Structure 1
């Protein structure tokens, strides 16, 4: 249940009036589009974007203040909107966190990875630092909103504790605190923030209402769904967990179809054709693995939330969580890609130790530069461990620690024994079988399609050894 609103906080907020100035902590895939959308609203006077001036991300400050986007994937309208609000004098990025004292509301969009999937212990180091900086600088009546995906119970627990310790004030009495999880996908950041329904959960009624006030002004077609902070935390972790489960289901079906010698896409079309009142199938697509910052960890946030809640879970004794099992299936798909590659190389009379593989796609999602938790990394490691030479191509990813990435496709595939497609970039849909074979210079080159981007028959006709996920009819 929502805690009764604090009359003290209500009086403070009534006297303070509407939200006019906003701070957004964390200039990444969530913080940047959120900040510029706030800045573009006539309801708000000014938005500060807060970014640490670190060796790895400090460059974003000057880029943003020049009106340029640090995100180099395909993000429709983002760079134009950044320039618009910078030129209008409504947005500026800074590393001076004392300016939090100038804002009426501050949101935190900071990554929350897990240290280890086995321990289920999140790495809240960056979030804790952001909370401490926020607590030290907020003033009476400030609304603090966590947009980061977090373990259920964090907003009213750890976050509240840190903010109160640092500020010397009390949440629900002196300042408002809420969770409004981001729901964006790279490639459509602005559209998602404007159009997706927004989950908003405060630690009390007044905090919820204040957060609703903040977010309702940037929505175009989405609606606000108010709830408690913990319910909002569970909503976010559960929606990603369910998506991961759906992907695992089609991935497992794809493995079944390979064994039975049929095409998983035919089966998928058949399943998806059954429509009608009360019928919901929501069949997704199989692939070479799941990456990104959310789906790879949010299951574990949800599982941890249950464990730390202190409640007793009534569940089949000794049975593993279906959500955790789904995670393991999706984590296995890069391994399956490796197995398909080894099988195909064997058919071509090669072993990994005497082969070169052109790895096509390092980003975890098509037409983006986002390579966080990319499944390509495990695939590459397995190849290297087997003695294989590996070269990587991606048209969007500029660099990645410890990995050399080329932007010239012809250089990467030249003289390669195999080409493996790990990401569904538009560029790979245009691969021509004859031209690729000539570049590879092999009588029977291998192609392994992890995203169903090529037409198998075209490549088989050119002498390729083909392997594809879920393509038992062609493998």
Structure 2
């Protein structure tokens, strides 16, 4: 079996299933070297890609226009490939349990298309055991082939950081695993084509699956610790960011900061670990506690906003509030699992209907996902309170004169500025004479 050789000689193709924030960059990187079929069931998304429009903003419109990816929503096109990468989302249900339906659906589609000698690699985040216990049986049932004898399977967790222009796919070390040594060798060689940082083979698929949920759970716990400190320091009247800056003067300090934890990874992956642990009879204590703290932060922020409105003698229900930013993180178009939504919902409980502005987010997508109409900057007039929720570079570039133009004709002390991400320095905020609050 030398699929690697056939791929570099373009006798065989790679197919990437799922062309979102993860799949699209992978497909583009491989397309610079070998033949790539990019498949997604979303026909509208495929048509936009064909027109040269990058919905994810991960690789850019210019790259999309010139890419060699063969975009398709036709399942039969997958029969032209022999190496498959599944990079579909793995969200959670309303009860915080794993929603494996996207990866199961992709596996069912692929199961009817693989042939002898095929290799299937999963990149979607799952708990240990999903690939071997759930996905492989589906592939075998749909294909009537046997894993190990007729086709191979591997797991290589995605580590792409949406919106990050520094830590890119090619310079992040890639964990790889396979059902046997032959599969591992082929998968290692193929990923080496695009990963400059190198690959890190592990002994089993379960180890690779565990590594992904653990690395994000670790970040979640550390952020939860900082969020708990921020809550306590708020009661004490101490600025958390100043404490962190002082703490970071020690060589072994961990530079985590408080904030809203959303998105498709850190706010989701720990629940996959918790679910699997509970199925084995163990109730997670640290990870579950961290999740609870982070999930509750939006309510804490919303309450802080209300307190500031009351402190400036405003009528809460009649206050005009603008939320700047709705994506789950800065400089990114991704709105999945955005915790800004929780702040908005909490404010609505007080009778407040905030205006929401985010030039990076798709108005259509936000309306479809959250039933929220995004506004334009020119609608930010006569505001009582500005909530800087996401640290987009555009927002950071705002001068205080521009910010001032968004408020009504009220005294500086009546102008409330909520700085969730610590975008503004305390001296600058105090110089403005605004009533402010930082997380």
Question: 1:116 corresponds to which residue?
Answer: 94
- Looking at structure 2, the residues matched to 114 and 395 of structure 1 have their Cα atoms a distance apart, in angstroms, of 27
Paired residues of 2:387 and 2:417 also in contact (CA < 8 A):
yes
Residue among 293, 296, 316 paired with 2:267:
296
Question: 1:451 corresponds to which residue?
Answer: 421
Residue among 14, 18, 27 paired with 2:19:
27
Larger RCO: Structure 1 or Structure 2 (Cα < 8 Å, ≥ 6 residues apart)? 1
Q: Offset at 1:361?
A: 0.5
Question: 1:316 corresponds to which residue?
Answer: none
Residue among 228, 237, 241 paired with 2:204:
228
Matches within 5 A, 1:245-256: 245-256=221-232
1:420 aligns with 2:387: yes
- Looking at structure 2, the residues matched to 15 and 323 of structure 1 have their Cα atoms a distance apart, in angstroms, of 41
Matches within 5 A, 1:357-436: 357-399=321-363, 400=366, 401=368, 402-406=371-375, 408-412=376-380, 414-436=381-403
Q: Offset at 1:420?
A: 0.8
Q: Offset at 1:192?
A: 2.3
Residue among 135, 138, 148 paired with 2:111:
135
User: TM-score scaled to structure 2, two decimals?
Assistant: 0.92
Query: Which range moved further: 197-206 or 236-245?
Result: 197-206
Residue among 267, 285, 289 paired with 2:257:
285
Paired residues of 1:33 and 1:189 also in contact (CA < 8 A):
no
Q: 1:375 to 1:15 in 2, by over 3 A?
A: closer
Paired residues of 2:4 and 2:190 also in contact (CA < 8 A):
no
Gaps of 5+ in 2: none
Matched residue of 1:116: which SS? coil
Deviations 1:226-260 (A, max 9, x none): 33100000000000100111111111122222222
Q: Offset at 1:28?
A: 0.4
Question: 1:84 corresponds to which residue?
Answer: 66
Deviations 1:20-47 (A, max 9, x none): 4100001100110000100102xx2x10
Deviations 1:396-455 (A, max 9, x none): 01220211112x32423x112111111001122233334433431122111111011123
Residue among 97, 100, 103 paired with 2:75:
97
- Looking at structure 2, the residues matched to 17 and 429 of structure 1 have their Cα atoms a distance apart, in angstroms, of 49
Q: 1:190 to 1:157 in 2, by over 3 A?
A: farther
- Looking at structure 2, the residues matched to 354 and 37 of structure 1 have their Cα atoms a distance apart, in angstroms, of 51
Matches within 5 A, 1:60-71: 60-71=45-56
Query: Which range moved further: 418-427 or 15-24?
Result: 15-24
1:179 aligns with 2:155: yes
Q: 1:14 to 1:451 in 2, by over 3 A?
A: closer
Q: 1:416 to 1:428 in 2, by over 3 A?
A: same
Q: 1:16 to 1:232 in 2, by over 3 A?
A: closer
Matched residue of 2:201: which SS? strand
User: TM-score scaled to structure 1, two decimals?
Assistant: 0.85
Matched residue of 2:21: which SS? coil
Paired residues of 2:174 and 2:198 also in contact (CA < 8 A):
yes
Question: 1:468 corresponds to which residue?
Answer: 438
Q: Offset at 1:136?
A: 0.2
Q: 1:16 to 1:282 in 2, by over 3 A?
A: closer
Deviations 1:7-62 (A, max 9, x none): xxxxxx24895434100001100110000100102xx2x1000011xxxx422212
- Looking at structure 1, the residues matched to 428 and 63 of structure 2 have their Cα atoms a distance apart, in angstroms, of 42
Question: 2:39 corresponds to which residue?
Answer: 50
Q: 1:380 to 1:59 in 2, by over 3 A?
A: same
Paired residues of 1:71 and 1:369 also in contact (CA < 8 A):
yes
Q: Offset at 1:269?
A: 2.1
Deviating beyond 4 angstroms after TM superposition, the runs of 4 or more aligned structure 1 residues are 14-17
Question: 1:354 corresponds to which residue?
Answer: 318
Paired residues of 1:33 and 1:190 also in contact (CA < 8 A):
no
Q: 1:214 to 1:164 in 2, by over 3 A?
A: same
Aligned positions, number: 427
Paired residues of 1:359 and 1:392 also in contact (CA < 8 A):
yes
- Looking at structure 2, the residues matched to 391 and 191 of structure 1 have their Cα atoms a distance apart, in angstroms, of 33
Query: Which range moved further: 185-194 or 128-137?
Result: 185-194
Q: Offset at 1:320?
A: 5.2
- Looking at structure 2, the residues matched to 146 and 106 of structure 1 have their Cα atoms a distance apart, in angstroms, of 8
Matches within 5 A, 1:126-205: 126-188=102-164, 191-205=167-181
Q: 1:189 to 1:149 in 2, by over 3 A?
A: farther
